Structure 1
Amino acid sequence: MKTNQMIEENNQLRRRLNHDNRVYYEDLLLYVRFKSFAKNEAQIESFLLDVLQDLVAAQKDGRSAIDYFGKSPKDVADAFLAEVPQNFWEMVKLTGIVIGSYAMSTILPSLTTTGKPIDLGVMLIAGMYALVMILLLFKYLADTIYHVSTWRLHKGLEWAMLWLLAVVALAPMFLIHLWVKTPLRVSLDGIWGIGVILLVWVIGGIIYLRLTDKRLWLPFVVVALLFGMMGIMARIPQFAPLLNIKLGRYLYVGLMIIGMIAFYILTYLATKKLKKSAS
């Protein structure tokens, strides 16, 4: 069975669990996935599916997850993960996905205007930083799943601290774009810029069509199409002069604002649907 088929079967089979068993299993699932970013994905998903099938069978016999697997699922997960070797190509794949996604998400907004070169070196450095932050986030999330805190913060203060940490983590990415300059700068005005936009559309379209669940990624597709069309219009001689007049600039900014509003609305609706289908 292919990995995406195992993930889909897992999503469907989890609906058969009662509330307590589902909470127990989903904690285990998240812990294993967060801790296994550099391990063979097929082995990880096979293990998770086997555990789920056993748990569903035990539930039919009237046994709870705690009765069947014990009160220390973390120990079971750690024992399994210790047997799965690190996979170099999984790390390469994750690196490519993160840096590629970051590049594709930043290059289209950069191409909405002309006259400014694209710094590929900065894109690579910022993408590597994003990869490090994601790996640290995975580790943090895995460590918090089975960690029982001995002290509690007020919920508002907890949210404030999370926002502060997010700002501290994301600030270097903006500073990299602001302060760092590399020789790997290319000008993508004219036909070359249009070609890159079309290439990004094709690559993004192929990736989107191969996704099992496309709902959460639809907002990104809409924004990518809008920014791409703006970039193409800026490189067409008949439309380019419009950007030099006041009304044209206002329309351009208005399209960008509409695009971001559409992105947040579609993201909210997609997230709401995913939560509803998961319940």
Structure 2
Amino acid sequence: MRGNHTQTKFILLGITESPRAQTPLFVLFLLIYIVTLVGNVGIITLVRVSPSLHTPMYFFLTQFAFTDICYSTVISPRMLADLLSEDKTISFTACMMQFFTFAFFAAIECHLLAMMAYDRHVAICQPLLYVTIISSRVCWQLVASSYLLSFLSAIIYTWCVFGGSFCGPNHIDHFFCDVSPLLKLVCSDTHSSEMIIFAFVTINVVSAVVVTLLSYISIIRTVLRMCSAQSRARAFHTCASHLMVVSLFFGTAFFMYLQPSSSHRSLDKVVSIIYTVVTPMLNPFIYSLRNKEVKGALIKCRRRLFNHRQLR
């Protein structure tokens, strides 16, 4: 997969070159990473121990939380280490593996968001058929197919980027190995690679967005036909948290990857921080704070824990 290259290592320029800013940024991003891990592990644990949450909706949510953990872990530990280290070199193989795993989990997130939208569509528009359409077997099949498609896409992305010749500068103007800064270092013609990457990103991102949009158009039509104002409010409230996550993830993805590489600018680092570091931290809170079922399950768990301590 390495292609005809001469570089054996790269140097990540990081978020900032200011020594004064590095320590405060390290503390900030370390706290964000810890909150990300605690929040997403908390969601997974809560769903597993709460029988009321053993539904397809929360099955997909636990898969999403697991992906957020992996997605963030691919980026954050290396970024934190570089903020405190003078040596920011990364080997060719390590850079390639970071890029591959990041692309893999990012693609999975796209598919999971589409699955969660489809799940809400069936629950609201076809409630009588929900158990039949979104069965446990179907859930596992959807997740397995997502992992397979994401794995194949990540291999293609990685081959397109690292299959070229790296014979010039080795400074990556970013805090992780991403598409645009890496392609700028390739000596050979990258036009065909960029077109292939653009096509596959479009397939993964745009197809997920289309499924999500069609699902919510159908949901809105169904909700507006409901006679009860309370039923309409409950349906919209159920979908609100998912729409917030979709907007954050796909909004930044469109900005970063569905534009020509020549138009990328310094703002890209800020946007990259939002979808690689901040969004995985926010997702558990968006789903828990705006979801009555999750809050109810959390209250029950606290009561059980409190009663257990009293008995002891």
Q: TM-score, normalised on structure 2? A: 0.30
Q: Computing the radius of gyration over CA atoms, which structure comes out larger, 1 or 2? A: 1
Higher relative contact order, structure no. (Cα contacts within 8 Å, ≥ 6 residues apart)? 2
